[in-house]
C-alpha cells in the first residue's frame, strides 16, 4: 500500500461528536468512519484489522470442529413466536421491517431460532450429532445508547457458534472445548492476561451459570470480582455468598474490576430445540431432546477493545497479530537514491509477505512520523540521505529508541519477530 494512493486521510483533531477513545483514535487514524450513532464503516486499514481478528477466531473455531456457515439477516416472524422472543416486550432491541404485503420480518439480532429451525432438515438421528456450527456476520440491535464507539454498535460484527449434543455430558464436553478455544483466541489477540472467564447469570430456564469473557478496562460497563490466581471471576449481578460457594471462590481473594464483555457462552439445555421441534432418534429408536449451547464473540467490539487498551498519547499501538501492516516505511526527502532504495526495500518486504504501508507522499518528515505513530503500525522504517544508502533506521512502535541496520538485517529482524 502506498500512502499516495490511499483515499483515507488522518485527522489531527478528534471528531466533535465522539466521546469514546476507541472511536476517536480509529477515526483520526483513518480506520473507521461514522455513518450514524452506533454504525461505523470500516475503511481499508480498519477492514484489515477486522479481517485479522476474524481469521484468528475462524482458525480456533475450525480447530475444535466448528463448521462455518452464513445465515440470512432477514428472519421470519413465526419461528421467533415459537420461542416467545418476537414480542418487543420480551426482546426490547429488535429492528423489524415489513414486506410490501405487510408481512413483518425480523432483522437478525442473533440466530438461535433460524439455525435450529434449519437444522431440522439435516438432523434426525443420533448419528447426525454432535455438531458445532458458526458464522461471522453482522448483527442488528436497537441499542438504547450507542456512545461507546465500536464497543456498542447498533450494527456490529459477531461470531456466533451453536453446539448440538445428544446428552448433557456430551454437551459439557463441547462447552469446555469451546471455552478452551475462547482462551486461545484472547491469548492470540494479546489480551489473554487481562481477560477472565466470568460466571454470570444463565438465564431463567437453567440453573447453570453462563460464562462471560470479560476484559479488564476502566471504560468497561460491567463490574466483576476477580480471583487473579485462579484466573476466574464472577459478575456483580450474581455476586452472592451462595454463588461464591458454588464456584469455589473466596471473598477475600477477589478484587472489584471494571470490564468489557468480549464474548460469552451459554448452556441452553433444550429450550430452543424443543420449542422449534428439533429432536433426534437414539440407538433404540426413541425420540430425544437436543442439548444446545451458544457461543458469542464480539468481533467488532474487539477492534474497539484493542484500540482502547493498546494506545498511548501518540495514537494506536496494534499487537502484531492484528496490525493492518507490519511496517510503516518512510522516505525522507525526494533524493533520487533514497527513493530508489526505498522502492527496492518496499518490493523486497512485499516479496517476503510482510505487509507495508509506504508513506511516499511529498510530506514533511514530522507529518509522516506522526501518522506512523497514530496508525500504530508495529515497525517504522526510515530511509534518508543523511543515513546513506546502506543504512535504514528501525523503530518499534513501543520502543523508545531507533536502531540502525542494513536492509538485510532489517528483513531478518522483522521476519523472525513477526
Nearest CB to ligand ATP, comparing residues 158 and 226: 158
- Please identify, using beta-carbon distances, which residue of 300 and 331 lies nearer to ligand ATP: 300
Cα–Cα–Cα angle for 158, 159, 160, rounded to 5 degrees:
105
Cα dist from 394 to 169, 324, 349, 357, whole Å: 54, 18, 14, 14
CB 111 within 8 Å of CB 136: no
User: For the chain, what's the residue count?
Assistant: 418
Q: Nearest approach, Cβ of 244 to ligand ATP (angstroms)?
A: 22
Binding of residue 298 to ligand ATP (CB under 6 A): yes
Q: Which residue has the cell 540502525?
A: 404
Q: Minimum distance between the CB of residue 302 and ligand ATP, rounded to whole angstroms?
A: 8
Q: Which stretch in 96-104, 124-132, 152-160, 351-359 sits in contact with ligand ATP by CB under 6 A?
A: 152-160
* Nearest CB to ligand ATP, comparing residues 114 and 298: 298
Name the closest residue to ligand ATP (Cβ).
298
Determine which residue in the list 301, 368, 380, 395 makes contact with ligand ATP, applying CB under 6 A: 301
The nearer residue to ligand ATP, 24 or 136, going by C-beta atoms, is: 136
Alpha-carbon span 187 to 15, nearest angstrom: 32
Judged by beta carbon, residue 95 or residue 126, the one nearer ligand ATP is 95
* Cα–Cα dist 404/395, whole Å: 9
Build a one-symbol-per-residue string for 93-122: x at contacts with ligand ATP by CB under 6 A, - elsewhere: -----------------x------------
Window of 53-61, 148-156, 334-342, 395-403 that interacts with ligand ATP by CB under 6 A: 148-156
The correct pick among 296, 315, 324, 376 for binding ligand ATP (CB under 6 A) is 296
Note whether 135 binds ligand ATP by CB under 6 A.
no
Instruction: Give the binding range for ligand ATP (CB under 6 A) out of 17-25, 80-88, 230-238, 255-263.
Output: 255-263
Cβ 244 vs Cβ 236: under 8 Å: no
- Output 264 or 341, the one with its CB closest to ligand ATP: 264
Stretch that binds ligand ATP, among 10-18, 174-182, 298-306, 400-408 (CB under 6 A): 298-306
Annotate each residue in 158-177 with x if it binds ligand ATP (CB under 6 A) or - if it does not, as one string.
Answer: x-------------------
Min separation Cβ 190 and ligand ATP, Å: 17
Closest distance to ligand ATP from the beta carbon of 254 (Å): 21
* Binder of ligand ATP out of 156, 164, 209, 318 (CB under 6 A): 156
Q: Kindly indicate which of the ranges 28-36, 84-92, 149-157, 365-373 contains the residues binding ligand ATP, using the contact rule CB under 6 A.
A: 149-157
Q: Is 48 in the site for ligand ATP (CB under 6 A)?
A: no
Nearer to ligand ATP, 261 or 360 (CB): 261
**Among 174, 262, 292, 329, interactor with ligand ATP by CB under 6 A:** 262
Other CB atoms within 10 Å distance of the CB of residue 204: 6
- Is 261 a binding residue for ligand ATP by CB under 6 A? The answer is yes
Q: How many residues bind ligand ATP (CB under 6 A)?
A: 15
Q: Which of 153, 293, 315, 378 binds ligand ATP (CB under 6 A)?
A: 153
Q: Per rule CB under 6 A, is residue 143 in the interface with ligand ATP?
A: yes
Interacting residues with ligand ATP (CB under 6 A): 110, 141, 143, 152-153, 156, 158, 261-264, 296, 298, 300-301
Amino acid at each position: 500500500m502506498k500512502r499516495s494512493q490511499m483515499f483515507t486521510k488522518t485527522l489531527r483533531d478528534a471528531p466533535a461528536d465522539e466521546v469514546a477513545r476507541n472511536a476517536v483514535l480509529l477515526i483520526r487514524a483513518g480506520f473507521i468512519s461514522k455513518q450514524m450513532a452506533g454504525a461505523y464503516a470500516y475503511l481499508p486499514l480498519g477492514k484489515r484489522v477486522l479481517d485479522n481478528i476474524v481469521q484468528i477466531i475462524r482458525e480456533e473455531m475450525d480447530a475444535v470442529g466448528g463448521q462455518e456457515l452464513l445465515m440470512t439477516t432477514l428472519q421470519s416472524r413465526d419461528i421467533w413466536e415459537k420461542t416467545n422472543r418476537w414480542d418487543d416486550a420480551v426482546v426490547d432491541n429488535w429492528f423489524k421491517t415489513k414486506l410490501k404485503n405487510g408481512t413483518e420480518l425480523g432483522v437478525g439480532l442473533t440466530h438461535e431460532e433460524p439455525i435450529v429451525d434449519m437444522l431440522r432438515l439435516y438432523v434426525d438421528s443420533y448419528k447426525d450429532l454432535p455438531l458445532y456450527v458458526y458464522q461471522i456476520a453482522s448483527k442488528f440491535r436497537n441499542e438504547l445508547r450507542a456512545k461507546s464507539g465500536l464497543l456498542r454498535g447498533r450494527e456490529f460484527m459477531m461470531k456466533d457458534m451453536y453446539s448440538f449434543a445428544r446428552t448433557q455430558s456430551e454437551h459439557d464436553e463441547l462447552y469446555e472445548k469451546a471455552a478452551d478455544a475462547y482462551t486461545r483466541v484472547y491469548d492470540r489477540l494479546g489480551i489473554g492476561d487481562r481477560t477472565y472467564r466470568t460466571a454470570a447469570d444463565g438465564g431463567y430456564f437453567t440453573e447453570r451459570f453462563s460464562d462471560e469473557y470479560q476484559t479488564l478496562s476502566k471504560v468497561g460497563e460491567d463490574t466483576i470480582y476477580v480471583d487473579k490466581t485462579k484466573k476466574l471471576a464472577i459478575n456483580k449481578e450474581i455476586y452472592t455468598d451462595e454463588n461464591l460457594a458454588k464456584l469455589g471462590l473466596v471473598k477475600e481473594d477477589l478484587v472489584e474490576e471494571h470490564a468489557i464483555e468480549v464474548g460469552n457462552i451459554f448452556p441452553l439445555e433444550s429450550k430452543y430445540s424443543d420449542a422449534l421441534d428439533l429432536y433426534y432418534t437414539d440407538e433404540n429408536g426413541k425420540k430425544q431432546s437436543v442439548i444446545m449451547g451458544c457461543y458469542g464473540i464480539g468481533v467488532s467490539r474487539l477492534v474497539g477493545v484493542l484500540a482502547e487498551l493498546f494506545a498511548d498519547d501518540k495514537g494506536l499501538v496494534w499487537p502484531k497479530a492484528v496490525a493492518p501492516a507490519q511496517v510503516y516505511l518512510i522516505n525522507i526527502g525526494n533524493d533520487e537514491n533514497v527513493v530508489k532504495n526505498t522502492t527496492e526495500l518496499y518490493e523486497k518486504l512485499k516479496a517476503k509477505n510482510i505487509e507495508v504501508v509506504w508513506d511516499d507522499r511529498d510530506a514533511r518528515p514530522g507529518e509522516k512520523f506522526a501518522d506512523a505513530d497514530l496508525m500504530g503500525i508495529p515497525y517504522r522504517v526510515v530511509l534518508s540521505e543523511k543515513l546513506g544508502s546502506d543504512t535504514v533506521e528501525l523503530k518499534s512502535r513501543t520502543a523508545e529508541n531507533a536502531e540502525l541496520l542494513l536492509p538485510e538485517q532489517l528483513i531478518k529482524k522483522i521476519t523472525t519477530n513477526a
